[in-house]
A and B are shown apart, each in its own frame.
Chain A
Amino acid sequence: MTSRPPRLPSFDRPPVTEVVLSLQFGMLGAMTSPYIGYLWARFRDRYPKVTEQLPVDAFFETFGTPPIAQQPTIRFEQLTGPPTIRYWFESADETSLCQVQQDRLIHNWRKRDSEYPRYEAVRAELVKDLETFEEFLQSEKLGALNFNQSEISYINTIDLPGGDDPHGAIEQVISTWSRLDGVDRDLEDVVFRARFLMSKDGVPNARLHVNLTPAIRTTTMAHVVQLEMTYRGKPEAEDRASALKLLDEGRAAIVVAFADMTTPEMHDHWGRTDV
């Protein structure tokens, strides 16, 4: 397992409810549905549940042009042949999820009753998935993985200390937000989206997407805000080490940005330990 880099912001009780590590690769057209049973046979000890889902669209970050509102996402294979499938392989407690489709392998950690095991542990699970998947591809002669995009997402579900409603009080969560309400004008809720170009040696190499939305926690019906942070880019090379390295860089970028964007009061609430 990799070790935590020094000097990263750290919290005893981070509000993270889901972490998604996704590796996208050149399409494995030969990996059709009949083969998936052989893959599940290899996964079944760790993931006893399997379900079928619609595939996630391919996504490619590019740079050097004005930002576009949204990237086109088209699943050409749906237009030219039978629908392809994304398979969910879930652990018995539903905390771990491995997702496989013709051009992606994704590992999710989802908060259920367990505490966040930290990035290094989630990454180690992804590596296990990857090793099993590569053994399967090799055994069935279905092709090799040429990684073209790495993506890491943190989904934070944030409530305020004391149970106050955060929907109209984003300034208590986000450090740069100012109160917008005034006399006879109360802010009810806020949605915002921000994108950041991430550069290495002065050259853009990834993008950080930040989305904040009001939400309701389904278990308690309490008002919360959801802060999603996604870092995505093209690995320096198509090999596994490069793909994982970009995830590590993304994790560091997200943790730093999360600490920069949120208030010291919330840091106290989450038990910040590095300051």
Chain B
Amino acid sequence: MFRDGAARAITGDAGGSVDFGSGLSNFRRSHSAAIQPKWQASVLMKVTELLSLRPGWDSYSAPVLKHDAAMFAMIVLQNVMKPGTPEPSVVPSSTGGVQLEWHVKDIDLEIHVLAPYQGEIWWCDRATGHESSVQLSKDLSVLSEPINKMSA
């Protein structure tokens, strides 16, 4: 499920040398799999179910969820989830994306992933009335505040 982002994975042993580090990479992968948090398997299962939806699954003309949108949603979660963060609800959107939702501890947070780097982040702190809405992009720092509040 995990890998290092190295060119070697693209090309194999094209450089004409044997890499002693590959054993370490294999160990790292096994170790990562063994210690992965519970939300990963659960969210992965839900997202995989959504990928099997047929066009028009909403009785109208909703397109299917795209694989790269699903992958990007997993990457967003991997980057922002903390040990105490509740697992999000995972729902399909009628525009072909996936929505990750939390409604806990006075925080409403919705991340709508339409495609890699495309979509919307909306969150509201019901205790203070603060509300924020931004476009999803490569910068995920906007998620720190609502995630921290939910994970406390």
Identify the A interface with B (CB < 8 A). 17-18, 20, 22, 26-27, 29, 56-65, 68-77, 79-80, 97, 99, 103, 106, 108, 110-111, 148-149, 151, 153, 155, 157, 189, 191, 193, 203-205, 209, 211, 213-219, 224, 226, 228, 230, 232-234
Contact = CB atoms under 8 A, between A and B. Distances in A.
24 contacts: A18-B7, A27-B68, A57-B9, A65-B143, A68-B78, A70-B29, A71-B5, A72-B74, A72-B78, A76-B47, A108-B14, A110-B15, A111-B16, A153-B7, A155-B15, A204-B139, A209-B6, A213-B21, A215-B20, A216-B17, A218-B13, A218-B16, A224-B17, A228-B7
Nearest to A224: B17
Given A58-B68, A76-B51, A70 B15 contact: no
B67 A18 contact: no
Given A72-B74, A153-B6, A17 B15 contact: yes
Contacts of A217: 16-17
B16 A17 contact: yes
A230 B70 CA distance: 25
B142 interface: yes
Contacts of B1: 72-74
Contacts of A153: 6-7, 10
Contact of A65 (B4, B74, B115, B141): B141
B72 A228 contact: no
Nearest to B11: A108
A224 B20 CA distance: 11
A230 to B, nearest CB: 6
A215 B22 CA distance: 10
A62 B139 CA distance: 6
Given A71-B78, A76-B47, 4 more contacts: A59-B5, A68-B79, A79-B51, A80-B48
Contacts of B122: none
Contact of A71 (B10, B14, B51, B75): B75
Nearest to B51: A80
Given A74-B44, A76-B51, A62 B8 contact: no
B149 to A, nearest CB: 16
B89 interface: no
A106 B78 CA distance: 26
A148 B139 CA distance: 14
B18 interface: yes
Contacts of A215: 17-21
Contact of A110 (B14, B44, B48, B115): B14
B52 A80 contact: yes
Nearest to A189: B20
Contacts of B5: 59, 71, 209, 230, 232
Given A64-B140, A76-B48, A230 B6 contact: yes
Given A65-B140, A213-B19, A73 B3 contact: yes
A71 B144 contact: no
Nearest to B68: A27
Interface in B24-56: 24, 28-29, 32, 40, 44, 47-48, 51-52
Contacts of B91: none
B60 interface: no
Contact of B66 (A27, A57, A211): A27
Nearest to A234: B138
Contacts of B11: 18, 20, 97, 108, 110
Given A61-B138, A74-B44, A74-B71, A230 B7 contact: yes
Interface-centre pick from B29, B32, B138 (highest chain A CB count, 10 A):
B138
Nearest to A80: B51
Contacts of B104: none
